[in-house]
A and B are shown apart, each in its own frame.
Chain A
Amino acid sequence: MKEVGQYFKEKLDQYKPDVTEQFWTKIQNDKGLKKFNRTALIKRALLYYITPVSIVLITGAVLWSISNNQNPDLKTVEVLTIQNNTISEPTEPQQEPYTTPVASMESEPTVSKREQSSVSISKPDPTNKNNNPVISKNEPVSKNKPVQNTTTEPNLNPTTIKTTPANNSKQPDLVKNNTPKPSQTEPKTSIPDTTEAIEEERAHLSTDPDEDKKLFIPKGFTPNNDGKNDLFFVYADWEVDSFEITIYQRGGIIVYKSNDIQQGWDGLFQNMDAPQGAYVYIITYKNQKGDDKMLKGTLNLIR
């Protein structure tokens, strides 16, 4: 004899009937289970693929930005060393390079079109080459001569322009203008050469109506209260809209910021004299067409 409960337990406890496949398909297609599987899949993807990939990408981006940041620093250091070498020489004629472009720019509207300027260049070229001896003795015959005299100051040493005509015409650089040693030693040479050089310079400085007018940004200034180049100005011969200049130390600290093109930097930072050296400027402005422009570069503070 057996107890009823025991009797049933022995047989029903391990009762395992066969199950048809149709129940599996029902379970498989259940919405809750599908959602569960989907979220699990996304989690797996996040864990095994997206996270490692993003880590690799982020580290790569960080390394790239670090390497990118180092480059400008190196450049400024190089520029500083080069310019310091050149500037350490006597700096008397410094003020002239600044004023020359301004003067020439003011008179630019007279030579407004490229055709005229190109003609003015092409004319003196053959005449100068062919008639060099004649012109050297006599006064220069070209029509442009009087214009040059009025525009460029008499102080300007013709030889400096003669020695580096190409450079001068491209950029009225402080560095390049500041190598006047040969001018002091060499005697004055023939005038036609200077006219040619000046003419070339004027031709480059003259602007087309089609082309953008460019700002003139000096490469350096000397805030020593001697009345010469005490302020750092940016020159423009048109009314500049939405002008903004920011000057940074090499560390990235902003030492000067202004929206007024008429206002110049006096070399002071927090009412202290800023140290001599190279500074980085970023200028944003609107050109005559109204397009936003940005200029970056370095300037030298010399004491």
Chain B
Amino acid sequence: MTEEEIIKGCQNGREKCQKMLYDQHSKLVMGIALRFAKNENDAYDIFQDAFLKVFLYIKNFKFLGSFEGWVRKIAVTTAISWYRKQVSERKNEIEIELVEDYPELSIDDEIEISLDEMLKMVNELPDGYRMVFNLFAIDGYKHEEIAAMLNISEGTSRSQFFKAKHVLQKKIIEKYKFN
């Protein structure tokens, strides 16, 4: 079955096609969920929410652009709404940074870090840092878009991204100082 047939089958509510779609895209969604969440349990919740959304809103997919991109977007938005839910429970911290130019932070690309460790580092970032870092560095959103999505100012987005990078760099250097 081609991807289009599978998608159409899902649009008609056929369980077989839903299973096939799940097999094709579950890894991608799980990868996104894992790096946006603070821990694994949260990631599983995000994963499940995202996949349900894929199945329930697949009617709206009009075959414009790639389906993988569509799934990816749904996963990211699900993660964002998950984050918003958690933020609304706490007080909204307002952070204004006036610094415009951030120095470039870089690490030696010879350092080999395992994926699990990388993921752990990202997960350990504070919530705001993690969201901005994921959205900007990995998913390729612009600061404008991130500011709108997370309901923060563009400056906050920039500063949080810089701080996140700084934290990550520190961690890596600490770990591999003596290598």
A binds B: yes
Q: Tell me if A137 is interfacial: C-beta within 8 Å of chain B.
A: no
Point out the residues of chain A lying under 8 angstroms from B133, CB to CB.
5, 8
Q: Tell me if A123 is interfacial: C-beta within 8 Å of chain B.
A: no
The reply to whether B118 and A12 contact each other, CB–CB distance below 8 Å, is: yes
Within 8 A of B (CB), among A32-66: 32-33, 36-41, 43-44
Point out the residues of chain B lying under 8 angstroms from A15, CB to CB.
31, 34-35, 115, 119
Within 8 A of B (CB), among A1-31: 1-9, 11-19, 23-24, 26-28, 30
The reply to whether A4 and B52 contact each other, CB–CB distance below 8 Å, is: no
Looking at B19, B47, B105, B138, which has the most chain A CB atoms within 10 Å of its CB? B138
A17 and B12 in contact (CB under 8 A), knowing A4-B106, A11-B118, A23-B48? no
The reply to whether B52 and A32 contact each other, CB–CB distance below 8 Å, is: yes
CB-CB nearest in chain B for A16: B27
Point out the residues of chain A lying under 8 angstroms from B105, CB to CB.
3-4
The reply to whether B138 and A12 contact each other, CB–CB distance below 8 Å, is: yes
Partner of A8, one of B27, B34, B52, B168: B168
Q: Tell me if B96 is interfacial: C-beta within 8 Å of chain A.
A: no
- Chain B: residues with Cβ within 8 Å of the partner, total of 42
Q: Give A13 Cβ to nearest chain B Cβ, in Å.
A: 5
Give the A-B contact count at a CB cut-off of 8 A: 106
The reply to whether B122 and A8 contact each other, CB–CB distance below 8 Å, is: yes
Point out the residues of chain B lying under 8 angstroms from A36, CB to CB.
13, 55-56
A4 and B165 in contact (CB under 8 A), knowing A12-B122, A33-B55, A33-B56? yes
Q: Give A253 Cβ to nearest chain B Cβ, in Å.
A: 53
Interface 0/1 of B101-125, CB less than 8 Å to A: 0001111110001010011001000
The reply to whether B48 and A26 contact each other, CB–CB distance below 8 Å, is: yes
Q: Tell me if B28 is interfacial: C-beta within 8 Å of chain A.
A: yes
Alpha-carbon distance A28/B172, docked complex (angstroms): 41
Q: Tell me if B86 is interfacial: C-beta within 8 Å of chain A.
A: no
The reply to whether B48 and A27 contact each other, CB–CB distance below 8 Å, is: yes
Point out the residues of chain A lying under 8 angstroms from B15, CB to CB.
28, 37
Alpha-carbon distance A14/B52, docked complex (angstroms): 22
A8 and B106 in contact (CB under 8 A), knowing A27-B51, A27-B52, A33-B52? no
Partner of B31, one of A17, A24, A27: A17
Q: Tell me if B26 is interfacial: C-beta within 8 Å of chain A.
A: yes
Point out the residues of chain A lying under 8 angstroms from B39, CB to CB.
none
The reply to whether B55 and A27 contact each other, CB–CB distance below 8 Å, is: yes
The reply to whether A3 and B138 contact each other, CB–CB distance below 8 Å, is: no
Alpha-carbon distance A41/B17, docked complex (angstroms): 14
The reply to whether A17 and B34 contact each other, CB–CB distance below 8 Å, is: yes
CB-CB nearest in chain B for A44: B12
The reply to whether A1 and B13 contact each other, CB–CB distance below 8 Å, is: no
Partner of B138, one of A8, A18, A40: A8
Alpha-carbon distance A31/B106, docked complex (angstroms): 48
CB-CB nearest in chain B for A1: B106
Q: Tell me if B61 is interfacial: C-beta within 8 Å of chain A.
A: no
Alpha-carbon distance A209/B100, docked complex (angstroms): 114
A4 and B169 in contact (CB under 8 A), knowing A24-B22, A30-B52? yes
Q: Give B20 Cβ to nearest chain A Cβ, in Å.
A: 11
Alpha-carbon distance A41/B136, docked complex (angstroms): 41
Looking at A7, A11, A18, A43, which has the most chain B CB atoms within 10 Å of its CB? A7
The reply to whether B107 and A1 contact each other, CB–CB distance below 8 Å, is: yes
Point out the residues of chain B lying under 8 angstroms from A17, CB to CB.
27, 30-31, 34
Closest 5 CB pairs of A and B: A40-B13, A16-B27, A5-B137, A37-B13, A15-B31
Q: Would you give 13 A-B contacts (Cβ < 8 Å), ordered by A?
A: A1-B109, A2-B108, A2-B109, A9-B137, A11-B115, A12-B35, A15-B115, A17-B30, A24-B19, A33-B18, A38-B13, A40-B12, A44-B12
11 new A-B contacts at CB < 8 Å, known A8-B122, A19-B27, A28-B15: A2-B108, A3-B105, A9-B137, A9-B138, A11-B113, A11-B118, A15-B35, A16-B27, A18-B27, A36-B56, A37-B18
